[in-house]
Amino acid sequence: MCANDYAADDIGWGLLLRRGEAANAYLWRSGRLRGYCVLIHRGAPHVAEPTDLSEADAAAYWRDTLALGRALTAFYEPVKLNFSTLGNVVPHLHSHICPRYAGDTDPAPGGPLPWDVLDNGRQDEAQLQADAAALRTLMEHA
């Protein structure tokens, strides 16, 4: 993640939705959950934990997180959003934001998402591009 080109609109793994105050929001290509996004801190210096941020930088990261969450809620109308800030594999501050859906449209109704739901498979590229365009519009007008 440290080597990402944060000026690019497409980093391979995901499509840029918004360059926020402290982090970039991406609609992720991998997995089988429509609307799966990753928010990646792009500030200097490099940090692995939100606790490494100053109060002002932490507030900016949280504002970016909320802006993404609000856009996902408005567009996908999930029953819940899951916010995960992990970094066990990649020690760079980033958060996974996952819409959760009702009934049989959710891959793990009522339970935690298995990692393979987020990591295995690919999103339909045409749908991904259309969703990204709609989410960008929502985030621009927020």
Residue 3 located in a structural domain: no
| Domain contains 8 | no
Structural domain including 53 reads 14-140
Q: pTM of the prediction?
A: 0.93
Q: Is residue 2 part of a domain?
A: no
- Does some domain include residue 101? yes
Reply yes or no on whether the pLDDT at 79 is more than 70.
Answer: yes
The per-residue DSSP string of the chain comes to -TT--TT-SB-SSEEEEEE-SSEEEEEE-BSS-TT-EEEEE--SS--SSGGGS-HHHHHHHHHHHHHHHHHHHHHH--SEEEEE---SSS-S-EEEEEEE-SGGGSSSTTSPPPHHHHHSSB--HHHHHHHHHHHHHHHHT-
Residue-wise pLDDT for 36-47, tens only, equals 999 999 977 789
| Predicted confidence (pLDDT) per residue in 83-94, tens digit | 999 877 888 899
Q: What is the CATH number of the domain that holds 89?
A: 3.30.428.10
pLDDT (0 to 100) of residue 1: 67
Count the domains in the chain: 1
Q: Would residue 121 count as lying in a domain?
A: yes
In a domain, 34, yes or no: yes
- Is 7 within the bounds of a domain? no
Domain-located, residue 1: no
Q: In what side-by-side order are the strands of the sheet with 14-19?
A: 14-19, 23-28, 37-41, 94-100, 80-84
Q: What is the pLDDT of residue 61?
A: 96
Q: How many Å apart are CA 16 and CA 66, to the nearest integer?
A: 16
